[in-house]
Structure 1
């Protein structure tokens, strides 16, 4: 009897071993297929994939990634592909995790005046709002940033690298795969408040598939008293309103509608400007991550019909490090087409470079690969972002109190 029991146990153990080996072999084959699809897709679809990294170096790194599949987790392999994709050198070519379930710790940070400030946080931890993140699992934030910045995607210059790094810092899978945290399900974070008091606590991440409401979070927002968003605006990201105590119109352009919607918006806008004899215009592209630059040109076309505008000195174009892709192109084009003064921070993407993003999907991991289809030469020289005529940065003292110091400067200037 014992002999039969031992025999069945041995058979069961052998079956489990074979199943494990078979699963591992299938996983290796799946990743090898995906890695090949990644290279083939980029070579066929990208306008000039080897403009920054040589094909030899690219293939050498791909071979290394393929050979290391067995000893790495799926997310570590994704990080290897993300790190390699950064070497292609344009902000529209990336490994997107949109199809992958990830988890974020319940806060957001932005790099303002030399510190990683908490600008949004779950209400249960609202005491962290306005503090600065200084450590994760005891590791100084500068070391964390150094590791995260190497794999952050949608990076085109030093300005977007800072923005994207901040966006990736709260991701639990990424922190764990980079060996910053010891556990995917919790981590110890250390913050410092304005009184130099350290606050350490263990946080748990939230799945990106979990439905959360904006009301579950506390966030810093900035504004000026002279500008109020109309209650009847069709879009949250595109609207206009007069600036109080001036003859100026403020145009919020944080996102792109359809071509037809912009036509209708432009027609209404010009009618309003002419009816109220506005002589100055402020076009605010801060926070605009991009869309269709030709839709933006429709706005420029419409504005050009407004004869009451002072076309010599009356147009201001605002941008910041988040301004990206088509929004960067439109910032540069508006400067030329509308004779505008660019005010704010350098943009997160470059006006001349590889753009017009499209995507394809890897067959097994379902990773989405984005790539550039076109080369746009908006300016004659290649610059790191659109460089403003008037350089301004967000001031933390104002930001923390909800005041928009950049927009305040513009309003004071147009009153002169």
Structure 2
């Protein structure tokens, strides 16, 4: 609202209010309007929903228009003596505003995310009174606003360690009654002590307004996806779960330090795959085989490094006392696969455990003049899969 052409209109109106012909009442009303605008701009920056449409600015837009017409009429009256010419000139000020509204109707008429209320009703229908945890704060905010005591939205500021505590609590709750985890990301299949079963999915295309400045504006479709995961605590005599984790910024099955998530891995067909940079000590939750069994580990990654080396050797340490697995990853898109064997009579966590990733040649992009990265990078990891196999 404060960018062109609205910023020019507001600035011109403020300058016009300094004209001697403008009454003190108009100046006072203009000052009150700007004070009210500051409150709305503050709300825009703090509330989780933001200002979804221009209609929500009507409480400050309408007073500003009324005060502006009064100010400009006083200014015009000082220049034009004839009353009918004064009224005609004042009415002419509305013509540019009307032309902008007809030329850019979406800016004024579009309801961004129209249909989102239907999504809320569908979520409530599926979950009911079931304890529901949202790992994407914006998805859970409407239910927090509705006072749903059984809906918990995790803050985007929460650390992986704190999320691990939430997962442990969720498992304990799931032993007595159903618990649903709603995620905006792919289902990895498991978490610490639990199997995650997909029971429902919502996918809606919603309209949103896009503009680099206030005008021009265009309508673009935004796809909203929610995946409903039923938490099943793992117990004895249950088949081992399989980890199939896509590094798409979702936090499920991740622990320890991780690098940047805004760099894509280029696939052989040229497509861009979401990925995380691994660091020394990056950890994933994977299935733990029974004694004498093995687990297949598969990485889809790229070393993506500069310098003398054009590859990376990733070391996967299992959650039992045994030799690690070494996987060589080339600079480009690579699918590396290997097997970790659990010997007989070796203690290990039940069902799931932490597999620690380290690299043989940690990569520091700063040494190549590239800033903004951690100094102990491993590979650009898109996907990691772990599956227990019989001997």
User: TM-score with structure 2 length normalisation?
Assistant: 0.24
Q: Who wins on radius of gyration, i.e. which is larger?
A: 2
| Higher share in helix | 1
| Higher share in strand | 2
User: TM-score with structure 1 length normalisation?
Assistant: 0.23
